[in-house]
């Protein structure tokens, strides 16, 4: 079955550590996105990529980094520079403009 896989589902990080969230899709979608969900704030865009080896900052990119070396993969690194990293992170992909996103099941990151 085609879909988006995010791993791990739950992740704990110590303050000062970098951590990488995985996102893999086998839908052959060109565009991929990372969103962050906080209570009462909806989904906010962190980074997106429309083609391999290219990505753009979203509204809240500070403290995050991404790579897009393969069409199927769009990992997100939460760096120690991110002040409030505890959140629910969602990865999504989209085939082209007039289609909606397909979302992964999310990763809950908690800083301890």
| Interface positions with another protein (CB under 8 A) | 4, 6, 9, 31, 33, 35, 40-45, 48, 50, 56, 58, 88, 90, 92, 94, 96-98, 100-106, 108
CB of residue 83 vs another protein: minimum separation in angstroms? 21
CB of residue 98 vs another protein: minimum separation in angstroms? 6
**Residue 75 or 106 having the CB closest to another protein:** 106
Alpha carbon distance 17, 15 (integer Å)? 6
Alpha carbon distance 20, 16 (integer Å)? 13
Alpha carbon distance 70, 41 (integer Å)? 31
Distances (CA, A) of 106 to 6, 22, 52, 89, 98: 6, 10, 22, 5, 24
CB of residue 105 vs another protein: minimum separation in angstroms? 5
């Amino acid at each position: 079955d085609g879909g988006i896989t995010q791993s791990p589902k739950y992740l704990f990080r110590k303050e000062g550590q970098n951590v990488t969230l995985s996102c893999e899709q086998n839908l052959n979608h060109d565009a991929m996105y990372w969103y962050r969900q906080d209570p009462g704030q909806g989904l906010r865009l962190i980074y997106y990529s429309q083609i391999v080896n290219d990505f753009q900052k979203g509204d809240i990119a500070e403290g995050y980094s991404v790579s897009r070396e393969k069409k199927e993969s769009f990992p997100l690194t939460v760096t120690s520079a991110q002040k409030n990293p505890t959140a629910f992170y969602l990865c999504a992909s989209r085939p082209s403009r007039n289609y909606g996103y397909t979302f992964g099941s999310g990763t809950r990151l908690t800083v301890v």
